[in-house]
Amino acid sequence: MAKQNPHITTTSSQGFVSKNDVFRNRANSRFSRCRQVLVNSQGGVGSSAFMELLQKNHVLMNSPEDVDGFKHRPADHFRHDSDGIYLFGRFACASKALVILGDPLHSIESVYRRFSVDHINKWREYAQKPPYHRRTRLADLWAEMRILRQDTTGLTNYINSWLRAKNEPTWPQLRLVTTKSLYEHAADHAKFLGVREENLLPFKQLAYNPRPFRSSAPADVQAMFGPIKVKIDQLEASSDS
């Protein structure tokens, strides 16, 4: 009797399934376990209203209030492969991610105004820096950066981690957007995350209406963020094209 080829599976209806079909079925089986999506942002970029609409549409995703610690986590602190981003163990995973980036100085000042240093300390923890004291003033942050001549908040580390991940093949579907793109194309991004066509109207009604912003950072500190701001502007330009 001829030895059966282990890479061909016979069936009653089709005669055989090719080796590629077997591998594709295995991949689809792995993919089907990743039923969540990840929505991640640096903070201070206006993602809350969008995430609240996703919640109303019962999209399975991470906590909009960051209760689970995934919303502001940099890319290099996630376990991942081309099938999924693993959140709570191997069988709780996200099949795709939407990451919202924005003006770093606006983010720093926005989250400081709302949360003092609590949010900034999340960035610092992931960048392996000690937390700021709870009484640290925004002016103290600028002064520290002037002395050390670098971003000490950890935000640049966060942004660069996702910009690198975007070009790596060992991730599932990643979509990086700016705040402007998030709101100008909200329906498209919602559809990407699993919202049905008939439920997209509220997303189409979202509008990008930024308030005028003038940073309180000294000119030399603002200049430190110039290179990372250029990368974000390039991301925005590619999103609009």
H-helix segments, the chain: 19-33, 48-56, 104-115, 118-126, 138-148, 155-165, 179-184, 186-192, 201-204, 219-224, 226-240
The reply to whether 15 falls in a domain is no
Residues 210-240 pLDDT 10s: 999 999 999 999 999 999 999 999 999 987 6
- Of residues 98, 224, 86, 239, the one with CA closest to residue 155: 224
pLDDT digits (tens, 9 = 90+) for 14-55: 433 333 443 333 444 444 579 899 999 999 999 999 999 999
pLDDT score at 38: 98
Is 23 contained in some domain? no
32, β-bridge pairs: none
- Long-range contacts: 14-23, Cβ < 8 Å, 24+? none
pTM above 0.95, yes or no: no
Q: What are phi and psi of 100, to 5 degrees?
A: -105, 120
Answer whether residue 107 is part of any domain: yes
Residue whose tokens read 């250029």 = 230
Instruction: Please give the pLDDT value at position 31.
Output: 45
Domain span at residue 195 reads 34-240
pLDDT at 24: 38
pLDDT at 83 over 60: yes
- pLDDT at position 4: 44
Longest Cα–Cα distance in the chain: 82
Residue labelled with tokens 């089986």:
29
**Tens digits of residue pLDDT in 159-198:** 999 999 999 999 999 999 999 999 999 999 999 999 999 9
Using pLDDT thresholds of 50, 70 and 90, give the confidence band for residue 88: confident
How many domains is the chain partitioned into structurally?
1
DSSP code for 88: S
The C-alpha atoms of residue 81 and residue 190 are separated, in whole angstroms, by 23
CATH number, domain of 200, equals: 3.40.50
The overall average pLDDT reported for the chain is 88
pLDDT at 239: 76
pLDDT band at 75 (very low <50, low <70, confident <90, very high): very high
Q: Does 27 reside within a domain? A: no
| φ, ψ at 98 (rounded to 5°) | -115, 125
| Whether the predicted pLDDT of 205 surpasses 80 | yes
Is 29 among the domain residues? no
Q: Mean of the pLDDT values across residues 54-60?
A: 96
Instruction: Give the CA distances from residue 91 to residues 10, 39, 51, 167, 198, in Å, rounded to whole numbers and listed in that order.
Output: 30, 18, 23, 25, 30
SS3 207: coil
pLDDT level of residue 89 (50, 70, 90 thresholds):
low
What pLDDT is recorded for position 92?
87
Sorted by sequence, the CB contacts under 8 Å of residue 129 that are 6+ apart come out as 152, 154
Which residues are registered as beta bridge partners of 84?
81
Q: Confirm whether 13 is domain-assigned.
A: no
- The predicted structure's pLDDT at residue 7: 39
- Indicate the residue type of 114: R
